[in-house]
Structure 1
């Protein structure tokens, strides 16, 4: 791993309008709507991001019957090919929650659970 390990985060919410107002007000930023992956019932509003900037960006996410409340944050680790790290997770005692899938122009993701039951995301462009 040559870069910072975290490349993206998602904060899951039930009331997207209320959450947008909160984060835009607290951080004095304007969130931008992102296109949802084809066929997904998901609404994403991204925090401002600079492609070559430092740190990770992320989005507020509203999904039908999705999680929220408490600590519903998903961290995505950057990978060359997320299927490779997903396979390593299984070999290391974890499990695959969602196999590698396309998210359109944004690349691919896979979801895994670590040995403690924590879900994390893997993201790659291939």
Structure 2
């Protein structure tokens, strides 16, 4: 059996959609796209997807605002790919977030930054340089 990447999707649950959307678009220099929801749940769930290419390896995901589900908790950390994670680190504070751990070496595994978004979710940025 051919090995496959184990992660296929991620969700970052948020409280303030506009604030979180602005934060990730600014820090990652991307545009999020609204995912249409079925009529029976569209009043309870709103999702904005990160850019994705279905034919490539890796996982995509979305910001999710869902009734009854609060942001924070940090039981899961999503790492975003970067050419140099110091670039995104430099954008975090201006976008309303907080750097938890500045760029640090992971030896042969590259580098990482850990930060909090505007909703209190911890996330990481990973690069090979």
How high is the TM-score relative to the length of structure 2?
Answer: 0.52
Q: 1:21 to 1:61 in 2, by over 3 A?
A: same
Matched, 1:59 2:43: no
In the other structure, the counterpart of 2:119 is: none
Equivalent residue of 2:34, what SS? strand
Matched, 1:43 2:46: yes
Measure the CA separation in 1 of the matches of 2:47 and 2:36: 7
Structure 2 alignment gaps of length 5 or more: 79-129
Structure 1 alignment gaps of length 5 or more: 76-126
Count of aligned residue pairs for this structure pair: 75
In the other structure, the counterpart of 1:97 is: none
Runs of 4+ in 1 over 4 A off after TM superposition: 72-75
Measure the CA separation in 2 of the matches of 1:55 and 1:44: 19
Instruction: Single out whichever of 40-49 and 63-72 deviates more from structure 2.
Output: 63-72
